[in-house]
Structure 1
């Protein structure tokens, strides 16, 4: 019996012993949203957006649970890091984590497919038989990337700085495909020295986070219960570069105190918070959601907005970065490997569960981010209004 099957058997043994930890995050109620009777002074007002079909819960109720939830989540992360190990690491490649798998029954959406880890993710998954839908900024870029995979990948053009374009892409995919097994939210940009906005939203927050919030929610009805997976590509910047206060809800256009680095970190923090909240909301359907840090990767398109001389320094530093295939390994693992079946709501790096920002356990911030995102979409697009 080969080593892959041996690892799979041992992994499933761990899952059986720790089912309450792996799937439920916590079984003692610390994660459950409190009943209205426990919060007599809580407002019953709901978000004015029913667009995405996912209910919200009250901010004050969340605040009452926040301290306890942090304790339980930190404890869970400790035990999962200790007990849940995959046989892969920082040097593993996308092809290695998918070795021996037959993905011919899977349909996978990959954003940012035209280069870097997005292309490697699409290539590796399609090489194992998956039907991949590759999304890039333009149809031409998506088509060229799909042709390079030498498979029957489907190209979709979508400018993620244009929310209307995101809706068109989601509608096209929904009409053409009966089901989508996996969504890999990979696309991303970095900012320039000056704040750039569109529709009053800072560009990194718009492209990296809000467009994915919209796309993923539009495609959720296509994900099968018990088997669907959502993979959110975040970054260590969510912990190391984001504002100290977390998400700056009162400065989403960057008018007050703009820093490209901080706003990039904020956009990635928003992605990880979104992943955690989506995981909680989709738990009844058995759909798993995880976020990850791919590592520093050379040869990506992410740095196209970075100006000289920083771009020169990065070019030299890239000599020591991961290859694109190594950078794509963690998201390929989360997208398709049976080794992580049932694992949800976690933050990963180098193919292992790791610790993320302290705000990943902040349920109040998670709810506020979700509600703010819905309100932005309603205001900008009148979606479902």
Structure 2
């Protein structure tokens, strides 16, 4: 049986396991009492924040159930945030952890801070400093110097520098700016990068080895070459010891290029070998780098339904996992460095797209690939749909995008 077939079987077996736990909770009184006690303890410890008008608001809304079988169905079938199979969330933060207070450089513009959030019996919630402000705007235009100026403008008041790099068409297709027929496309819709010197200028003024810096690069076909340029530029500026400190992501998803975006530059088999070479290197030498972002967004924008998007994205992810494992890369080394990128349109199924994907990924990675917890987590970025927008209805597009944002947050 293929690995993908084994994943399907593992999900079916897990569903049977959940039903067994539901039955056990209803027939084994001690097991049922233990589940009910754990459920009540969790509910009592949910952090409570406050709305702008002062109303208490729990950060996690659990179903109002007290029947052991239904509690078992939730705990084992969905999982609390940060618990297998991670249907509700990969991490407990934001739901079951204290609220982190973020203080801007402007000290909240001189305004008094709102009343501290409270939890449990009204005890003050412990304040923690949150060092990260993960704002990342997709940017790229004209030449490296122009995009560098834009990067500095976007991060001027940010404590952490999170850059997301858009490349122009010739760069995405692996073409130099002096290639025949590309003059009109240079710097259009992204930055033109031809050499290591371009890469040095692109990120000039940023400390690439700082824990407060990361670079996301949206490029797939020539991703290994772009990565080589980035590493060379970093070494040129900061020396060879900077390489293990580099943080960021490169998209590098060859399967979705073949299936949807059509920006492949080599035949698929050598492209995948080239990709695996890069993943093997980054896993060994750059432990803070995400060498691939497995992308369902482009598949969704190419016309797929939410169910088809999930099917293609998950099967691509498991195929990559099988390929990297076959190269001899340990699953608990490459698994935690896989990330995902999903589309969110207006169809009702989008409300469950990420939730279902997290569950299937966790079960498959654990039961088929024998992965540890960190490699079971389906870490994703969701983006609203461009395909759903209509140029002649630009006012309606505001409502469409707002609706998609709500669906994304509920996902």
Q: Please give the range of the TM-score, normalised by the shorter of the 2 chains.
A: 0.3 to 0.5
TM value normalised by structure 1: 0.39
Q: Between the two structures, name the one with larger relative contact order (CA 8 Å, sep ≥ 6).
A: 1
Larger CA Rg, structure 1 vs 2: 2
